[in-house]
Chain A
């Protein structure tokens, strides 16, 4: 009975002041659309950036003279080092094969010409945290002097690493900044629209208070209104996004494998996130904005 009353009050409110409600709905809708496009983009860029960062590695070259046992010991020692995520052994043969793949012309005849494989076996050490790569290098070969007998040389491909780290760092910072900006803009916009629509009805709220209505008795219909507005805004946003996805993104990603490559949010999850965000923002916005008018 009570809830039926609140819902009927909310519907009456929407019917009687449909213009501000529509404005609120549009703001929430636009924000949801922007968010719906922005979330996958942010994820794609950070995903790509992280992928690039994963390429950062330290190569530990093994001495030609090292025995099988020494190699095994070295591998264990490397794996035991802190901040090491994985250790990959690249034998002499593999090293040659990779080199040939990268630069076929130079190695096609070169290997035959030399008669033997000039490339050393190595361990590729990938760090847990690419930013702390130096630490690994320092541990394995402080001041360029290898700690273990089997190590010939430790190289971190300094220039590549630095470039990768600074470039991806910048991309990440930029997207994070944009996201924060967007969230602030959305909140300000939605708060303002909701405030306008409630401000238009502040007299009504005042009268309700004077008749002896409790705060929640007044607030519930407004919150339910917010839920309804948020729900429809979210629904519209999801609909538009689905249409856009089906007509533009899906055919594209079929043709270009590359676009689909980075891991992005599942569309179903995105829909849920958007709906919940719309409803929550709209309902909370109404409830909180009302507070100042309830102080009668």
Chain B
């Protein structure tokens, strides 16, 4: 599994560096305009950062679709690696990729506004809240990606053809998302118990729907691993 991570990162090294460089240069350029731009400058920096994150997120999807549809899949799927190993390494690499870009964007933004926003955030925040944020950040990436990968793998197995497969995956994702959110909503209504804690922001978590989300993630992870190992036909 570690080897898979190593090679996936090496494969996308240019992309990651390219994006980071763009963010850095873009922000350096913005810094020269700080005095004259007003509120627009930090805004542009944020937009740049978000753009960078979108690009790197898309790249986490293209890696999987390359495996499923391109000749590279022959190399990966003949390795003696289990489906769990392949999926786990993919998720970990994605977290690493996104985090690198995220940290660079955030760092550049802080440089830009001289750390004012950062300090303001840190003052109000408690340790549990910071841990919670990080946990939520990781959870969002991992659970969303697993969900998308599941739809991609189903699309690959059920539908023939690259274009049809990809469009089909998207449609499946769309439909399943609605179903999933609908169910989560229903569960939240039936079990309105919540957990709440306040600090900088008030965080409200519905126990029922959170448990539901975790269960779904677990199920989809196992299902995707199984399908990758036993059902993908190249």
Task: Indicate whether A and B interact.
Answer: no
